[in-house]
Amino acid sequence: MMMDWQDRIVVDAHVRSGRPCVKGTRITVYDVLEYLAGGMSEK
């Protein structure tokens, strides 16, 4: 079963200047990718 990305990612012009965020949070997709690139684990 594949999960659709729209179930997890939301874009709202009033949250973080319209950047794509993890649904229900103010954490941007960019932030998550930066954390992973910097060596942070998925846990």
User: What are the domain boundaries of the chain?
Assistant: 5-37
| Token output for 32 | 């998550």
What is the model's pLDDT at position 9? 96
Q: With the C-alpha atoms ordered 16, 17, 22, 28, is the resulting torsion angle positive or negative?
A: negative
Mean pLDDT for all residues in the chain: 93
Contact predicate 26/17, CB 8 Å = no
Q: Environment class of residue 21 by beta-carbon count within 10 Å: exposed (0-12), middle (13-18) or buried (19+)? A: buried
Q: Does residue 42 carry a pLDDT above 90? A: no
The overall longest dimension of the chain from CA atoms, in Å, is: 33
Cut 0.75: pTM above it = yes
Give the residue among 7, 8, 35, 31 at the shortest CA–CA distance from 19.
31
When pLDDT is cut at 50, 70 and 90, the band that residue 13 belongs to is: very high
